[in-house]
Amino acid sequence: MVTGSLTGEVSACKGDASVPRVRWQEGPDQKAALWRSESGAPPPRRVELAGDATRAAVAFHQACEGTSLVYRGDYRNARQLLAAITRRLEERPPSSATGDLRAAFQAHRQHQSTVHQVLSRLLVVLDGSYELELRRAPVVSEACLEVWGPGDGSSAVSLRQLVGMIGAHEWRRSGVEVAALGGRVHPHYGVSARIRGEYVDLVADAPLRRAARAFDLGTGTGVLALVLARRGVAEVVATDSDPRAVACARENIARFRLEKRLRVEQRDLFPEGRADLIVFNPPWIPAQPRSPVERAIYDPDSRLLLRFLQELPEHLSPDGEAWLILSNLADLLGLRPPGLVAQTSAAANLTLRGQLSTPARHPRAQDREDPLYAARSREVTVLYRLGLRGSSTAGR
Residues in the chain: 396
Q: What is the average pLDDT value for the chain, to the nearest integer?
A: 90
pLDDT given for residue 16 in this prediction: 43
Helices 340-347 & 303-311 angle (0-180, nearest 10): 30
Give 3-state DSSP helix, strand, coil % of the chain, rounded to 5. 35, 25, 40
pLDDT above 80: residue 350: yes
pLDDT given for residue 12 in this prediction: 31
The separation between CA 148 and the C-alpha centre of its own chain, rounded to angstroms, equals 17
pLDDT given for residue 55 in this prediction: 97
Question: Rounded distance, CA 224 to CA 239, Å?
Answer: 11
Which of 46 and 36 is assigned the larger pLDDT? 36
- Residue range 256-312, pLDDT digits in tens: 999 999 999 999 999 999 999 999 999 989 998 887 778 889 999 999 999 999 999
Helix (H, G, I), strand (E, B) or coil at 112: helix
Please give the average per-residue pLDDT across 348-376, as a whole number: 91
pLDDT above 80: residue 15: no
pLDDT above 70: residue 27: yes
List the Cα angle 225/327/332 in 5-degree steps. Answer: 175
Q: What residue spans define the domains of the chain?
A: 5-170, 176-388
pLDDT above 50: residue 17: no
Question: Rounded distance, CA 243 to CA 55, Å?
Answer: 41
Please give the average per-residue pLDDT across 328-356, as a whole number: 95
Please give the average per-residue pLDDT across 240-260, as a whole number: 96
308 CB contacts (<8 Å, ≥6 apart)? Answer: 217, 269, 280, 282, 324
pLDDT given for residue 292 in this prediction: 77
At 94, the pLDDT band (50, 70, 90 cuts) reads low
pLDDT given for residue 19 in this prediction: 79
At 3, the pLDDT band (50, 70, 90 cuts) reads very low
52 CB contacts (<8 Å, ≥6 apart)? Answer: 73, 74, 77
pLDDT above 90: residue 32: no
Question: Rounded distance, CA 227 to CA 214, Å?
Answer: 11
Instruction: Give the gyration radius of the chain's Cα atoms.
Output: 24
294 CB contacts (<8 Å, ≥6 apart)? Answer: none
pLDDT given for residue 251 in this prediction: 97
- Residue range 110-141, pLDDT digits in tens: 999 999 999 999 999 999 999 999 999 999 99
- pTM given for the model: 0.89
CATH code assigned to 176-388: 3.40.50.150
Distances (CA, A) of 222 to 10, 206, 274: 37, 18, 20
Pairing of strands 176-178, 183-185: antiparallel
Write out 292-349 in H/E/C secondary structure. Answer: HHHHHCECHHHHHHHHHHHHHHHCEEEEEEEEEEEECHHHHCCCCCCCHHHHHHHHCC
DSSP 44: P
Residue 122, φ and ψ in degrees, nearest 5: -100, 110
Out of 23-27, 302-306, 385-389, least confident range: 23-27
Residue 256, φ and ψ in degrees, nearest 5: -90, 0
pLDDT above 80: residue 193: no
pLDDT given for residue 195 in this prediction: 67
At 194, the pLDDT band (50, 70, 90 cuts) reads low
pLDDT given for residue 391 in this prediction: 67
At 92, the pLDDT band (50, 70, 90 cuts) reads low
pLDDT given for residue 6 in this prediction: 41
Please give the average per-residue pLDDT across 317-329, as a whole number: 96
At 5, the pLDDT band (50, 70, 90 cuts) reads very low
pLDDT given for residue 290 in this prediction: 82
The percentage of the chain sitting over the pLDDT mark of 70, rounded to a whole number, equals: 92
